[in-house]
Structures are given as structure tokens and as C-alpha cells.
Structure 1
Amino acid sequence: MRVEAWLLSAGVLFFVPLGIVYGYVAEWEPVGTVGFFLLGGMFALAGGYMWLTARRVSPRPEDNPTADIEERAGDVGTFAPHSWWPFVMGVGVAIAFLGVAIGWWLTGIGAIIALVAVAGQLTEFSRGLHAH
């Protein structure tokens, strides 16, 4: 997790000075300047979370530069063998964005379909064939 923490923390060191330079060059134009500072803040939040998590969990084989491939072997997680919910979610989001061009009423229908798909995906392992 240390590599991820360094990578995300480097975003702060890039975007905050870039925001200062952009603000100076663009005469403190509010939208771009604030956008760069918020982007630096986003990287600070993600990098800080990774630093805190890296301190709490034990080092992974990926964190050891002399580790062998065999050290990472084993169970990675639980994955659904097949699921229609991502497809339904994609259709709902596509209908919602299509509603911006056709009519706002269609956006509501697409949002409802997408929310049902999110609920279905979240509860997929709570019922049915793959229930835990």
C-alpha cells in the first residue's frame, strides 16, 4: 500500500503548485484556480487514506521488492461467476443520459432503472444461487 500512498500523495505535490502557477498566470481566474486546488485536495484525501490504511494492515507481497510471485498465490476474493446487473445498470445510465437530449422525464426513468440495478448488484450475494 506504500506505493499507492506515494503515488496519490505525489498528486498533491503536482496540482497545488500548478494551481498557484495557473492562478498567477490567469490572474486568479476563479474556476480553474479553485479546480486545481480541489484536485490537489482530492489527491490529499486519497493519499491520506492510503497512508492510514498502510499503517494499519500488514505489508503485502507487492510491497516487498524482493518478493517472489508464489507469495501472492491463493484466494484473492469472491467474485460472481455471472451477473446481469452491470448490463442493467449500463442501460439505465444510458437512458438517463439520453433523457438530457430527448426530455427530462426520460432521465427519471433511467435513474430509477439504474438505482434498481445498484440495489440488485449490492444484494446479489444475499439471495439466490450464490448466497453466503
Structure 2
Amino acid sequence: MKPEKWVFWFIFIFFLIVTPVYWVMSHEIAGTFVLGFAGLLGGMIAGYLALTARSFDPRPEDRPDAEVVEAAGDVGFFAPSSMWPFWCAVTLAVIALGPALHQAWISIIGIVIGVWACSGWLLQFYRGDYKH
């Protein structure tokens, strides 16, 4: 958790410095609030990671005496080839086409196709009794 914690502390400190500089240079309230809340979000996540990192054993990445072998293992199963990401992309294009053409029925058709495409992608390796 140490690398992740430091990344978010950096985000917090960066926005803590940039927000007042932005206010002084632009006197624009909306951007100042957005930058400030982005910094608060980074601080909140960094604080959460700092608190939760104390409650469990460190990962091999967090220990200086760790060996590379300790972090090895199964990463997961990845599909060698699949047509479902293509159909999900087509679905998103059809859904976005509806507002672009001011035709709601096109988006509705896209949503219906999207249910089919997402179901296919989710269940592409389901054959019978949870086979892969």
C-alpha cells in the first residue's frame, strides 16, 4: 500500500499548492472549487490507504527484503479472442448516435442491443456447469 499511498499524498499536496495559485491568477470560483475538491479527494483516499495499510500484513511490494518469487502466482484467466467487446463498442456508438440525431428511438435500440452484448461478454465462457 505504500506506493499507492504516496501517489495520493502527492495529489493532495499538488492540489493544495495549485488551488490558491489558480484563485490568485484567475479569480474564478468554479475552477477553484474543482481543484480544491480534487485535492480533498486525493487526501481522503491517501488517508484511507494509510489507515487500512496498518491493519494487514504488508505485500511483497511493500517490503524491502521481499523476493520476486513471493509476488508470483496466477494473475487470472484472459480470453484469447472474443467478439463481445466489438459488439459492446457498437452498442455504445448506437446509444450515442441517438442524441446526436435527436432520435430517442435509436438510443432505445442501442440499449436493447447493449443488454444482449453485455450479457454475451459476461457469459461467454459459461457452458453448462460453469465451464471455462
TM-score above 0.5: yes
SS class of match (2:54):
helix
Residues 73-112 of structure 1 mapped to structure 2, 5 A cutoff: 73-105=72-104, 106-112=106-112
CA 1:120/1:34 → structure 2, altered by over 3 Å: closer, same or farther? farther
Q: Which residue of 2 aligns with 1:36?
A: 35
Q: How far is the alpha carbon of 1:7 from its aligned partner?
A: 0.5
CA 1:81/1:49 → structure 2, altered by over 3 Å: closer, same or farther? farther
Residues 63-82 of structure 1 mapped to structure 2, 5 A cutoff: 63-82=62-81
**Which range is displaced more, 69-78 or 15-24?**
69-78
CA 1:119/1:50 → structure 2, altered by over 3 Å: closer, same or farther? farther
Residue 71 of structure 2 aligns with an amino acid whose one-letter code is R
In 2, Cα distance between the equivalents of 1:102 and 1:19? 39
For the 8 Å contact 1:124–1:131, the answer to whether it is kept is no
Q: 2:116 matched to 1:128?
A: no
**Which range is displaced more, 106-115 or 69-78?**
106-115
**Aligned sequence identity (%):** 38
The normalised TM-score by structure 1 is 0.72
SS class of match (2:130):
coil
Query: Following superposition, which runs of at least 4 residues in structure 1 exceed 6 angstroms of deviation?
Result: none
CA 1:103/1:25 → structure 2, altered by over 3 Å: closer, same or farther? same
Unaligned runs of 5+ in 1: none
In 1, Cα distance between the equivalents of 2:77 and 2:112? 28
RMSD (Å), alpha carbons: 3.0
SS class of match (2:100):
helix
Q: Which residue of 2 aligns with 1:21?
A: 21
In 2, Cα distance between the equivalents of 1:73 and 1:50? 23
Q: Which residue of 1 aligns with 2:12?
A: 12
Unaligned runs of 5+ in 2: none
CA 1:44/1:66 → structure 2, altered by over 3 Å: closer, same or farther? same
Paired residue total: 130
CA 1:5/1:113 → structure 2, altered by over 3 Å: closer, same or farther? farther
